[in-house]
Chains A and B, each alone.
Chain A
Amino acid sequence: MPATSAIEVDGITKEFDEVTALDDVSFAIGRGELFGLLGPNGAGKSTLIHVLSTLVAPTAGTAVVDGHSVRDDRGGVRESIGVVFQEPALDEELTARENLAFHAVMYGMGRAERDERIDAVLSLVELDDRADDLVKTYSGGMKRRLEIARGLVHQPAVLFLDEPTLGLDAQTRRHIWKYIRQLNREVGVTIILTTHYMEEADVLCDRIGVIDGGRLIELGTPAALKDRVGGDVVTVGVEGDRDAFRDRLAGYDWIGGVEEVDGAFRLTVDDGSRRVPTLFRDTENLDCDITSVEMREPSLEDVFLDLTGHGIREEEAENRMERFVRMRRAR
């Protein structure tokens, strides 16, 4: 295994009863990388984290984490990773320091090393002054920070963060982003995080894997993924004879893609600022009015739409339903 890879995923498939949660997923993550798995709820992100952290065995395929196979060397994998799960996993009847000490002993650390590491991670997430308060008195953001700190106590090579800012308000979210970036840069730990927030993936991650329906459908830097959309995104509101407008659009070779979203035309246009005037001029004599125009650089939202043909939000409701069905089946 090349020393530059922190994680190598090779053909991982995971089936639960009839549901295929992961379908032949393969990729590699380099050491020191901050890698994001982006996709809607139920896409298989958490399952992938569970497989990579040895909580769940894959149906097929294998993965190597920091040189240890998730199939044959679960103990080795566990020693080299820290995990922050999507749902909180703290003992709220204990203080922050006690939670961390519990963790450190479970990882076989001696007293001197333990005390030193606990102080270090507490100051890293700026919880030193509340370290001896019961966790049940903490806010949501503080609990998250404590969990991130705990994931680092035993100095793992790889840190997994499953939806690290789920359910947090915008300000706290930015705060958590700061800590994650700091950990990655200053501590040098490889981080793999899952998220369904486009902005989170865009702002934080070196590279992003887009996952949908259990499949890894694209992989690249945020910039490369956006380039993939090919040009600017122009959204045009139209009233009147929409069919004529649509026909006219079909005649332009500089329009990469046309999608109708919420009654507006979403166009992918090369060099949009020069083309929009042309669009106005050419449609003047049609029996329709352009009511609004918006032009912007492509976002990851557009990338996702481009890749999957659906937005990340509409998928959300659908998948919640699916998960609900799966949960009932499991009973």
Chain B
Amino acid sequence: MRGTNLAAIYVLWLREMKRYARSRSRIVSTLALPFLFLVGFWYGFRSIQLPGVGGGVDYLQFLVPGIVGMTMLFSASFGGISVIFDRQFGFLKEILMTPVDRVSIALGRVVGSTTTAVIQGVLILVISVVIGFRPVSWLGLVPALVYMVLIGATFIGLGLLFASRVNDFQAFNLIFNFILFPLLFLSGAIYPVTNFPTVVTYLTYANPLTYGIDGLRAVLVGRSMFPAALDLAVIAGFAIAFVLLGAYAFEGSDAV
């Protein structure tokens, strides 16, 4: 990347941190949905042995990495897409008016939103531990953080891509209903994807979130569809590709 501006990336990150810390309603509202999913599915399915979960694995153990992935998916996409809000409220013009190059501006957004998404993911993990989740090894939390960062970066890139093409708020709901929820249900977050018909299984293989959540399961629960190294390689590849695509799209988008 030619001459990225570290000071600018830092101050864009700082802005997101300040906004996040000051907006308690945003923290609660973006945690509410994953929390409801966590509690709802856990109580509903806990006494059923789902095929594919793996013998001896409690459903809560299976579900928690999925819900952490879901939290990452939603808050990261929101972070990328919130460029639309900045455009609507005029602040994007102030940002784009400065001499800072657009790639640095996009990277500042990626770094800032990844941080807030990871904080959200960690909060959900903490809540999970409170209600009874136990990772196979507490050391597994370290690689789990790496997976969370990669899931976050992937979907912020995707969000930026959309925000650069779409200008109005209406698209917002559309994206949640027709992109985020399908991504969630086709990722094995809530039930094993091995139960799907073959054709649908292929879709799950094309979904970045599948590898992110599978990786989280590998390091937190000790069970996974794919080897953890494969999960890591694939989600890292998606993360790099989407961040570049998002930054590229943002560079070519309109300021006004």
Contacts and interface: CB of A to CB of B under 8 A. Distances in A.
Interface of A: 50, 53, 55-56, 75, 78-79, 83, 85, 87-94, 98, 101-103, 105-108, 134, 150
A102 B19 CA distance: 13
A213 to B, nearest CB: 21
Given A89-B94, A90-B90, A90-B94, 12 more contacts: A55-B255, A56-B256, A78-B97, A85-B93, A88-B90, A91-B15, A92-B89, A93-B23, A105-B7, A105-B8, A106-B99, A108-B5
Contacts of A83: 97
Contacts of A85: 90, 93-94
Contacts of A79: 99
B96 interface: yes
A83 B23 CA distance: 29
B118 to A, nearest CB: 21
Interface string B83-118: 000000111011111111000000000000000000
A105 B108 CA distance: 13
B8 A106 contact: yes
Contacts of B22: 93, 134
Interface in B5-63: 5, 7-8, 10-11, 14-15, 18-19, 22-23
A53 B255 CA distance: 12
Contact of A106 (B19, B89, B100, B255): B100
A103 B94 contact: yes
Contacts of A134: 22
A75 B98 CA distance: 9
A88 B256 CA distance: 13
Point out which of B14, B23, B96, B99 has the most chain A C-beta atoms below 10 A from its C-beta. Answer: B99
Given A91-B19, A102-B11, A105-B7, A55 B98 contact: no
Contacts of B97: 53, 55, 78, 83
B125 to A, nearest CB: 27
A93 B89 CA distance: 12
A108 B99 contact: yes
Contacts of A92: 89
A91 B15 CA distance: 9
Contacts of A75: 99
A300 to B, nearest CB: 29
11 contacts: A50-B256, A55-B93, A55-B256, A78-B97, A85-B90, A85-B94, A89-B89, A91-B19, A105-B10, A106-B8, A106-B100
Contact of B18 (A87, A90, A93, A107): A93
Interface of B: 5, 7-8, 10-11, 14-15, 18-19, 22-23, 89-91, 93-100, 255-256
Given A50-B256, A78-B97, A93-B23, A106 B91 contact: no
B51 to A, nearest CB: 48
B24 to A, nearest CB: 12
A93 B19 contact: yes
A105 B99 contact: no
B90 A103 contact: no
B90 A55 contact: no
Given A50-B256, A94-B18, A102-B11, A55 B94 contact: no
A79 B99 CA distance: 6
B98 A103 contact: yes
A158 to B, nearest CB: 13
A307 B97 CA distance: 35
A87 B15 contact: no
Contacts of B256: 50, 55-56
A130 to B, nearest CB: 17
A87 B19 contact: no
B90 A105 contact: no
9 closest A-B pairs by beta carbon, nearest first, are A89-B90, A106-B98, A105-B11, A89-B94, A78-B99, A87-B90, A93-B19, A89-B93, A75-B99
Nearest to B92: A89
Point out which of B22, B23, B100 has the most chain A C-beta atoms below 10 A from its C-beta. Answer: B100
Given A83-B97, A93-B18, A103-B94, A108 B7 contact: yes
B140 to A, nearest CB: 36
Contacts of B7: 105, 108
Contacts of A150: 94
Nearest to A53: B97
A329 to B, nearest CB: 14
A111 to B, nearest CB: 11
A134 B100 CA distance: 25
Point out which of A93, A101, A108, A134 has the most chain B C-beta atoms below 10 A from its C-beta. Answer: A93
